[in-house]
Structure 1
Amino acid sequence: MARKVKDKAIGIDLGTTYSCVGVWQHDRIEIIANDQGNRTTPSMVAFTPDERLVGEAANFQISTNPTHTVYDVKRLIGRRYNDPLVQSDKQLWPFTIIPGKNEKPMIEVTYKGEKKPFAAEEISSMVLVKMKMIAEQYLQCGVKKAVITVPAYFNDSQKRATKDAGKIAGLDVMRIINEPTAAAITYGFDALEEGTRNILVFDLGGGTFDVSIVTVERGKVEVKAVGGDMHLGGGDFDNRVLNYCVQLFNKKYKVDMGRNPKVLRRLRSECERAKRSLSSAVETVIDIDSLYEGQDFHTKIRRAKFEELNADLFDKCMQLVKQCLQDSKLSKHQINDIVLVGGSSRIPKVQELLSQFFEGKELCKSVNPDEAVAYGAALQAAVLNKEIIHLVLMDVTPLSLGVAVSNGVMSVVVPRNTPIPTLKEKYFTTKYDNQTSVNISIYEGERALVAHNNLLGEFVLHGIPPARCGVPNIRECFLVDVEGILTVSAQDVGTGRINRITVTNERERLSKVEIDRMVADAKIFRKEDEEMAKKHLAKNTLECYICNMKSRLMEAKSRGTIQTRVADDISGALNMVEEWLDENDNATIEKFEAKLNELSLKCKCLT
């Protein structure tokens, strides 16, 4: 079943709000805790005048530094600045989003006194570096290989952007896999040698919603259908409660709190806490002292009100479940297991609607909804790293692939939910008499017109012999590999002339130069992080020494084993360095160490 390998491979759930990392170790998957002992880490990066903070450290200071603490970047990755969803989210975030090259959304922050723009891939890479470091500290060795998960409904551009983020983080991304597929692997792993089981994975996270139907049978995990919404999750439920509270406050005090970042950050944190509380309680309180212009905010919110505020979003989840079931060509009675994944799947109303739809069927809660995706990613990493040898994963295309034809219509070549790898062919012809070349535009999406879908790439087939329109026979082949990478070729059957393109969507992707620059920046950031960690350690060592010497001094004075003059001299020295610390928070490592050496000599009689 398993064998030892030299280089470990990890699985990373790169979540919208939290990330998680796992590894195959001691013949099982182990989810790795961070330096705070938590098994999930906030997908958050903060920039201060002195340093960059990632994960827990960024989360701790968000209330005091909201405009330079970045989160939810998964909602930006692979998108364009003028995307309506980006413009909508932009109004809710306290940090600044600006248009970059090729309409790429950039996050602008102030770092070390300078304004600096970051791409979503770069922020994501910082979170990936953090997860990589968590794994390395646990394994006590370097880690290069990783499997990273993405929402099932991520398009080609978003998947490639995530892979770029992994490259910037110094990772060899062995594969990008869908989050619900990873969760299904987690649930079905112990049943791989049993009979066939159809599993519906309901994955409602912090920023995205995915639903997948997967069949597990004797060592094979086959995805039947995927669906979801890349812009539906716990953050949207928080926004509904936040807007409700803002309206209550404004109405009560006859004010307009506007878009004050710090005020909204405090209120949003309490709304999120209330949402979590309402998963176990029927009523909770939101209570904030001096929220705005000295006015306190206090309100009770019942579970029924929360459900009312989000009723349309919950209904949307169920419509997507029904659509996915229809796409899988299975009936609800053929579903053996319903697996809940993602923190927001804990919401009672969501569980109630899901259970009702499946006519009272019990929902599977045996997997940890916060860790299931990382667990499955780590299993897949172990398979690709040849640590486990009896698991085969067969995924599907999340969106239809096709070409533009007359009048801007999309002709589908590869329907969505087609198992991959796959090769599909379709025949086309010319539109005009004596046409010697054809432009081939490749799209992904579900709309009838290409204008409403996502352009992946374009190329031209030349050398077609002149003939009346409709006579030439042009064969177009779509090859989708195991990772979902698309290659399209077009051949004039009459002459054998051929041209092809591997879709890279270069307009929206980072260039090699940009990636190389970001890789170099990531190394600089890591060096800065290491220096800052050393500085914090030196400062902490000095603070602990002062505290320890004060305790020893008190003991020596109570026992009468130290002269009053010497005691006063030591006490004065300790107080002076303590005052110096208060005024020199950003001193160099050498200064902290020098002060420690001075005190060590002064306090020699106490050691």
Structure 2
Amino acid sequence: MTSEGVTPAIGIDLGMSYFCVGVCRHQDKVEIILNESGYTTTSSYVAFRPTECLIGDVAYDQAEINPTNTVYDVQRLVGRRFNDPEVQKLINRWPFKVIKGAYGLPKVVVEYKCKQKEYSAEEISSMVLVHLKNLAESYIGTTVKDAVITVPPYFNDSQRQATKVAAHLAGLDVLQIIDKPIAAAIAYGLHMKTSDTNVLIFDLDYFSFDVSIITTDEKGKLTLKATGGDTHFGGLDMVDLMVDHFVKKFNKKHHMEMDKTRNLRALYRLQRGIVSAIEDLISNTETTISIDSLYNAIDFSTIITRSKFEYISKSFFSKCIEILKSFLRCAKINKTDVDGIVLVGWVTMIPKIQQLLQEFLNVNKVLKSINVIEVVAHGAAIHAANLIHKKCEKAKTLPTLPLLDTVPLSLGVDAHDGVFSVIIPRNTPLPAAKEKIYVTNVDNQGSIPFNVYQGERSRAQDNKWLGGFEVAVSPAAKGKSKVKLVFSVDADGTLNCCVKEFTTGLKKKIIINHNKEKLSKEVIKKMVKDAEKCKMEDQEYLKIMCARNVLEEYIYNVRRKMKTIGSNDKTRLHAEEIKKMETAIEAANQFIDGNQELADVDEYQQVQDQLEKLCVGVIAKLV
């Protein structure tokens, strides 16, 4: 699939419970890359210890003795805010600590190298991706840069962008983020079909359950027609049913009461024994669960048959079909319209699941010839090969251009609210010239101060300060006095600033030689990397500042409206109403002044909503 001499791109299934990476180098022949232990999939666990950070199966293996510093299922935090109800649900389930970090983003807190460390979900995901990148490079024998990464179909834009951030931190260029069901469909060549088909992608994993309908048309176009399921239901619920059953059995036999919440190590060991037993029962009708010194130095051993397992788990199996029914009903899809089923996730290997699916849908065509826990990475690898092939072919057709010097880091100024206002973006070819218009932000402002910065962070003070100047303007109402700021960088890298005041037409020129302390390539690279690392924080900062500015603007407009209300109009209002509105305005203003470290977006919006409800009702009486 890829051209000779071109480094292959990899396909990554960055799953909730495991990750898998594949490469397609020769005509759709996919190679799933083995990990250090010789397995094709690796547990999505990251563990922090006094001397090292462990990733994958080795992290999973020590989870029972290090639960508070072993992080898993972290993909659910990617691109979310701390006060998101979904995040709050998860925090109560996890043994590791999650706190509210800068700008309301969640941070995982662990003990690492004998120090307390805080990591964003994107940073932890990047550790996993670095691990996968290294596995792929060892296997292929060359540096890997390009990748296709799969995500659950319900991921929103913020979560997809955050996944890209994690990939960039890991040194990967993302060719495309694609939905897991689409990748599974590609694995079975559905993108090459030339007939109308409806295929159900049934993805049941340890932590989640996703169902999707993929349609194909005569042109081979794949469309994700509908998606649903339950993101908080999966194989773990089945394991929990088994745990409850065997804990009761253990307690009854030994006349005791095991407290699962206070014996996490015993719980982990029992869970792992049950998972192994379920895996055995996929191909065998009977197996043994045996755990030495499970609780109070008492051994646990029992034989379980496949029929007994199915009986204990019957409520789990019933719920799977109920979720599927609900999905089809909401998607307005008749089960007779389903032409085939693609199985994804290790739970779908259980014979009872496959039996119930075929009975409910009456579909004989169940696609499971590709390993169900590798199928998503399989499809992602094929898609990656296609994209890298097209990229190489396109590059061959482009004319060769002479190399030009570029602006190494963005240049801009501190807007009045502390946001970095970029005028000349990074990588703009030299010589370069760009302009922006700025206005006063308070009434009767006599001048506008400008501080010039260089960098890639959203908050001005997080970038490198280059210098500053002030421009006199004609005093007027807020937003009425304007200046045009022109930045130009010559071939030598000298930054020239020219400011024109609109009312008088006067101009002012300033030269800022930002190369007097010329940054090395290493420093520039570090600044760009740091900006990428903090991208989610920066995006959240911009959202917060936007909400804050909107509230400030609303307060300003209401105050101005109050001043324009004539004495005759005021007689139409009760003094109590005016006082209530003035008090509310003052309270909102104090909220802004009292939150110099910035509140959450929701808090600013809540204050504005309350103010609007009061003020609109009062002012409406004068209209």
Contact 1:75–1:231 (CA under 8 A) maintained in structure 2:
no
Q: Distance in 2 between matches of 1:389 and 1:335?
A: 38
The secondary structure found in structure 2 opposite 1:253 is coil
Q: Choose which of 363, 367, 370 in structure 1 pairs with 2:370.
A: 367
Q: Aligned pair in 2 of structure 1 residues 304, 106: CA closer, same or farther (>3 Å)?
A: farther
Q: Distance in 1 between matches of 2:206 and 2:529?
A: 33
Bigger mean CA offset, 369-378 vs 214-223: 214-223
Contact 2:2–2:386 (CA under 8 A) maintained in structure 1:
no
Are 1:131 and 2:132 counterparts?
yes
CA deviation after TM superposition for structure 1 residue 65, in Å:
3.0
Residue 262 (structure 1) aligns with: 265
CA deviation after TM superposition for structure 1 residue 230, in Å:
1.9
Q: Aligned pair in 2 of structure 1 residues 164, 243: CA closer, same or farther (>3 Å)?
A: farther
Q: Pairwise mapping of residues 347-386 of structure 1 onto structure 2 (< 5 A)?
A: 347-359=350-362, 361-386=364-389
Residue 49 (structure 2) aligns with: 48
Q: Distance in 1 between matches of 2:30 and 2:175?
A: 18
Structure with max Cα Rg: 2
CA deviation after TM superposition for structure 1 residue 216, in Å:
3.0
The secondary structure found in structure 1 opposite 2:189 is helix
Instruction: Calculate the TM-score normalised by the size of structure 2.
Output: 0.58
Q: Pairwise mapping of residues 146-225 of structure 1 onto structure 2 (< 5 A)?
A: 146-189=147-190, 192=192, 194-217=194-217, 218-225=219-226
Which residue identity lines up with residue 352 of structure 1 in the other structure?
Q
Which residue identity lines up with residue 200 of structure 2 in the other structure?
L
Q: Aligned pair in 2 of structure 1 residues 63, 372: CA closer, same or farther (>3 Å)?
A: same
CA shift digits 1:5-39 (9 cap, x unpaired): 63432110001121111122022222212232221
Residue 435 (structure 1) aligns with: none
CA shift digits 1:287-337 (9 cap, x unpaired): 222112222223444445544554444334323433444566553333222
Q: Aligned pair in 2 of structure 1 residues 86, 276: CA closer, same or farther (>3 Å)?
A: farther
Q: Distance in 2 between matches of 1:260 and 1:90?
A: 19
Contact 1:153–1:229 (CA under 8 A) maintained in structure 2:
no
Bigger mean CA offset, 133-142 vs 228-237: 228-237
Residue 79 (structure 2) aligns with: 78
CA shift digits 1:544-593 (9 cap, x unpaired): xxxxxxxxxxxxxxxxxxxxxxxxxxxxxxxxxxxxxxxxxxxxxxxxxx
Contact 1:212–1:224 (CA under 8 A) maintained in structure 2:
yes
Q: Aligned pair in 2 of structure 1 residues 75, 309: CA closer, same or farther (>3 Å)?
A: farther
Q: Distance in 2 between matches of 1:266 and 1:4?
A: 49
Q: Distance in 1 between matches of 2:529 and 2:143?
A: 26
Contact 1:98–1:107 (CA under 8 A) maintained in structure 2:
yes
Q: Distance in 1 between matches of 2:166 and 2:533?
A: 12
Contact 1:257–1:292 (CA under 8 A) maintained in structure 2:
no
Bigger mean CA offset, 303-312 vs 133-142: 303-312
Q: Distance in 1 between matches of 2:353 and 2:392?
A: 37
Q: Aligned pair in 2 of structure 1 residues 80, 244: CA closer, same or farther (>3 Å)?
A: farther
Contact 1:188–1:216 (CA under 8 A) maintained in structure 2:
no
Contact 2:205–2:345 (CA under 8 A) maintained in structure 1:
yes
The secondary structure found in structure 1 opposite 2:171 is coil
CA shift digits 1:496-536 (9 cap, x unpaired): xxxxxxxxxxxxxxx999754579xxxxxxxxxxxxxxxxx
CA deviation after TM superposition for structure 1 residue 48, in Å:
1.5
Which residue identity lines up with residue 163 of structure 1 in the other structure?
K
Q: Could you list the runs of 5+ residues in structure 1 that have no partner in the other structure? A: 391-462, 464-510, 520-607
The secondary structure found in structure 2 opposite 1:207 is coil
Which residue identity lines up with residue 293 of structure 2 in the other structure?
S
Q: Choose which of 273, 279, 284 in structure 1 pairs with 2:282.
A: 279
Which residue identity lines up with residue 41 of structure 2 in the other structure?
T
CA shift digits 1:346-384 (9 cap, x unpaired): 122221221111125342221210111001111222222
The secondary structure found in structure 1 opposite 2:282 is coil
Residue 114 (structure 1) aligns with: 115
Q: Aligned pair in 2 of structure 1 residues 286, 96: CA closer, same or farther (>3 Å)?
A: farther
Residue 100 (structure 2) aligns with: 99
Which residue identity lines up with residue 62 of structure 2 in the other structure?
Q
Q: Distance in 1 between matches of 2:172 and 2:220?
A: 28
Q: Pairwise mapping of residues 320-335 of structure 1 onto structure 2 (< 5 A)?
A: 320-326=323-329, 330-335=333-338
Q: Distance in 2 between matches of 1:381 and 1:389?
A: 12
The secondary structure found in structure 2 opposite 1:279 is helix
Q: Aligned pair in 2 of structure 1 residues 314, 165: CA closer, same or farther (>3 Å)?
A: farther
Contact 1:205–1:343 (CA under 8 A) maintained in structure 2:
yes
The secondary structure found in structure 1 opposite 2:283 is coil
Residue 340 (structure 2) aligns with: 337
Which residue identity lines up with residue 150 of structure 1 in the other structure?
V
CA deviation after TM superposition for structure 1 residue 47, in Å:
1.5
Bigger mean CA offset, 215-224 vs 376-385: 215-224
Which residue identity lines up with residue 285 of structure 1 in the other structure?
T
Contact 1:66–1:265 (CA under 8 A) maintained in structure 2:
no
Q: Pairwise mapping of residues 392-541 of structure 1 onto structure 2 (< 5 A)?
A: 516-517=532-533
Q: Distance in 2 between matches of 1:312 and 1:82?
A: 32
Contact 2:167–2:174 (CA under 8 A) maintained in structure 1:
yes
Which residue identity lines up with residue 284 of structure 1 in the other structure?
T
Q: Distance in 1 between matches of 2:64 and 2:48?
A: 13
Q: Aligned pair in 2 of structure 1 residues 512, 271: CA closer, same or farther (>3 Å)?
A: farther
The secondary structure found in structure 2 opposite 1:317 is helix
The secondary structure found in structure 2 opposite 1:385 is helix
Bigger mean CA offset, 198-207 vs 314-323: 314-323
Which residue identity lines up with residue 356 of structure 1 in the other structure?
E
Q: Pairwise mapping of residues 224-239 of structure 1 onto structure 2 (< 5 A)?
A: 224-239=225-240
Q: Which has the higher contact order (CA 8 A, sep 6+)?
A: 1
Bigger mean CA offset, 294-303 vs 231-240: 294-303
Contact 1:290–1:297 (CA under 8 A) maintained in structure 2:
yes
CA deviation after TM superposition for structure 1 residue 117, in Å:
1.8
Which residue identity lines up with residue 270 of structure 2 in the other structure?
L
CA deviation after TM superposition for structure 1 residue 73, in Å:
1.5
CA deviation after TM superposition for structure 1 residue 122, in Å:
1.6
Q: Aligned pair in 2 of structure 1 residues 136, 266: CA closer, same or farther (>3 Å)?
A: same
Q: Aligned pair in 2 of structure 1 residues 354, 63: CA closer, same or farther (>3 Å)?
A: same
Instruction: Calculate the TM-score normalised by the size of structure 1.
Output: 0.60
Q: Distance in 1 between matches of 2:183 and 2:210?
A: 12
The secondary structure found in structure 2 opposite 1:318 is helix
Q: Aligned pair in 2 of structure 1 residues 349, 75: CA closer, same or farther (>3 Å)?
A: farther
CA deviation after TM superposition for structure 1 residue 118, in Å:
1.8
Which residue identity lines up with residue 243 of structure 2 in the other structure?
L
Q: Distance in 1 between matches of 2:272 and 2:45?
A: 14
CA deviation after TM superposition for structure 1 residue 283, in Å:
4.1
CA deviation after TM superposition for structure 1 residue 68, in Å:
2.1
CA deviation after TM superposition for structure 1 residue 86, in Å:
4.1
Q: Distance in 2 between matches of 1:14 and 1:257?
A: 30
Residue 32 (structure 1) aligns with: 33
Contact 1:153–1:230 (CA under 8 A) maintained in structure 2:
no
CA shift digits 1:231-256 (9 cap, x unpaired): 22222322332333334444532343
Q: Aligned pair in 2 of structure 1 residues 258, 63: CA closer, same or farther (>3 Å)?
A: closer
Q: Pairwise mapping of residues 292-303 of structure 1 onto structure 2 (< 5 A)?
A: 292-303=295-306
Q: Aligned pair in 2 of structure 1 residues 363, 227: CA closer, same or farther (>3 Å)?
A: same
Q: Aligned pair in 2 of structure 1 residues 283, 95: CA closer, same or farther (>3 Å)?
A: farther
Q: Distance in 2 between matches of 1:116 and 1:105?
A: 13
Which residue identity lines up with residue 339 of structure 2 in the other structure?
N
CA deviation after TM superposition for structure 1 residue 209, in Å:
1.6
The secondary structure found in structure 2 opposite 1:36 is coil
Q: Distance in 1 between matches of 2:223 and 2:363?
A: 26
Q: Could you list the runs of 5+ residues in structure 2 that have no partner in the other structure? A: 394-478, 480-526, 536-623
Q: Distance in 2 between matches of 1:20 and 1:287?
A: 29
Q: Aligned pair in 2 of structure 1 residues 89, 128: CA closer, same or farther (>3 Å)?
A: same
